[in-house]
Structure 1
Amino acid sequence: MVTRQLDEQISARFPVGRRLRVLDVGTGQGVQALRLARAGHQVTGVEQDPAMVSAARAALAAEPRGIRDRVRLVQGDGRDTGVHFLPGSFDVVLCHGVLMHVEEPDPLLAGLARMVAPGGLLSLLVRNADALAMRPGLGGDWAGALNAFDATARRDGLGQEVRADRLRTLTATLDGIGAPLHAWYGVRVFTDTAADDVPAPDDLGTLLAAEERAGRTDPYRGVAGLLHLCGVRG
């Protein structure tokens, strides 16, 4: 879903065939970075976890030379982008699944916004605090649902506590750092509340189509497990 949404925003903002400068903060194993490099873009990935960096480098090593030459991997903290790069160095900056692990996100977001060139795109994927009551409520855990209304964190499938953000708060933050919200989507509207042991359906295409439509349609997107926010640098 996030890939489709991101490609939609890139296509709407930049001419077809333009080779973009992309910064992927929290690049993980490099899935998104490699995908964008295969599309012809110049990608810099920043990742703090040494194991993830090693995995990304191994995946990159398996690519043809032309793609390898378009990817640079940097081991470092996403909050230190100003140490490595000049302001306005990138057309697209991605920060997917990172804010939920950062106790105070505002400095990170301000630093990321400075990396975006004028007219460029800042793409964020965050845990949705306005949906935290959905899973316990649908599971019949009424006390858990009541507590979740005012919560700002939840435990993920690995048992780790992850922070969550509210759309209205991030909208104000993006305004304040000069990258106002341009578009937003819900991600995992239906599937986020499914039990962890439920197998994927045989008709995965229909599931994805339902999720894609719900992710861009009110009121469904407002209770998605994740939010994909796209700001544009003024």
Structure 2
Amino acid sequence: MVRQELVARQLDERIAARYAVGQRLRVLDVGPGLGIQALRLARAGHQVTCLESDPAVLAALWEALWAEPEGVRERVRLVEGDVRDTGAHFPPGAFDVVLCHGVLMYVTEPAPTLAGLARVLAPGGLLSLLVRNAEALAMRPGLAGDWDTALAAFDVTEYTNRLGLRVRADRLADLTATLTGVGVPLDTWYGVRLFTDQAADHEAVPGPERLARLLDAEDRAGRTDPYRAVAALLHLCAVRRV
């Protein structure tokens, strides 16, 4: 919940900085998961395409979509396909905004994937990436007192996520260089989930007043050095060269 709320705030901020109020955008959400950001943007009036390779996730997305009003459903298109083949599914410059949240960690080599995302992004368009922060892999085990795992995390970019899968983290400097190389240089970046990264998956959401303060603190940390550099996730917003 913290992750989705913070990313929504940051994404809305970057969209407002680049586009006119009320402008209807063409959005691609690659690996949309439960569709939280995709449906939120569709409710705001944007045309949203979701690219997803997992049939089970697609089925869940269809179910969530049919719970929405007809006007929202009409603005969402679901496409079955792999993120690594994004450039083959859509024509060049087809989208004003491309979201790729929590996906690069499952891709062995990010550069070809990012090149494909850049290809379908219109000139001046916004690319939003959410990645695991390789510079902060020692934080979670260290704060939990798991010293062996913390020490090992300083020298690797792979880790075991909460689903028990071996996945990959990214370094900000590496992604910045790659984005520049594919013609979508980094514009702004944020840290996501710093103070709450130790929270258990089953932990109850706080009451409204405490939750509001929590989110404000996380939001401030995600925009402030040195805190944002050790957040669990990095939200990178890059802009396609005109």
Q: Above 0.5 in TM-score?
A: yes
Alignment partner, residue 233 of structure 1: 240
Q: Residue 197 of structure 2 aligns to a residue in which SS?
A: helix
Counterparts of 2:33 and 2:157, CA distance in 1: 24
**CA apart distance, 1:196:** 5.2
The alignment-based identity, stated in percent, is 70
Counterpart CA distance in 1 for 2:148 and 2:61 is 42
1:92 maps to what in 2?
97
Which residues in structure 2 correspond to 1:74-153 (within 5 Å)? 74-153=79-158
In the alignment, is residue 9 of structure 1 matched against residue 18 of structure 2? no
**Letter aligned with residue 11 of structure 2:** L
With 213-222 and 196-205 compared, the bigger mean Cα shift is at: 196-205
Q: Which deviates further from its counterpart, 29-38 or 207-216?
A: 29-38
Aligned to 2:231: 224
Q: Deviation at 1:101? A: 1.0
The TM-score normalised by the length of structure 1 is 0.96
After superposition, the Cα gap between the structure-2 partners of 1:76 and 1:197, relative to the gap in structure 1 and judged at 3 Å, is: closer
Amino acid at match of 2:215: L
**Distance in structure 2 (CA, Å) of the matches to 1:58 and 1:100:** 26
Kindly report structure 1 stretches of 4+ aligned residues shifted beyond 3 Å. 193-202
Does 2:153 align with 1:167? no
CA displacement 1:10-56 (0-9 Å, x = unmatched): 00010001000000000122221111111000110000110110111
State how far apart, in whole Å, the 1-side matches of 2:239 and 2:146 are: 40
**Cα deviation, residue 65, structure 1:** 1.8
Give 1:182 deviation, angstroms.
0.2
Q: 2-side partners of 1:173 and 1:74: how far apart? A: 27
* 1:20 and 2:64 are equivalent in the alignment: no
Deviates more, 1:167-176 or 1:97-106: 97-106
Separation in 1, partners of 2:201, 2:68: 33
Alpha-carbon deviations, 1:124-158, whole Å to 9, x = none?
00000000011122222333222111111222222
TM-superposed CA distance for 1:103, in Å, is 1.3
Counterpart-to-counterpart distance in 2, 1:90 and 1:3: 19
CA RMSD of the aligned region, Å? Answer: 1.3
1:51 alignment counterpart: 56
Letter in 2 for 1:24: D
Please tell me the residue identity of whatever aligns with 1:204.
L
Q: TM-score, normalised by structure 2?
A: 0.93
Deviates more, 1:138-147 or 1:77-86: 138-147
Counterpart in the other structure of 2:184: 179
Matched residue, 2:3: none
**Rounded Cα–Cα distance in structure 2 between residues aligned with 1:172 and 1:48:** 28
Structure 1 unmatched runs, 5+: none
Distance 1:195 1:60, change over 3 A: closer
| Matched letter for residue 109 of structure 1 | L
Q: Which residue of 1 aligns with 2:215?
A: 208
- Whether 1:61 aligns to 2:59 is no
Displacement, 1:62? Answer: 1.9
Q: Post-superposition shift, 1:197? A: 6.0
CA contact (8 A) 1:134 1:193 kept: no
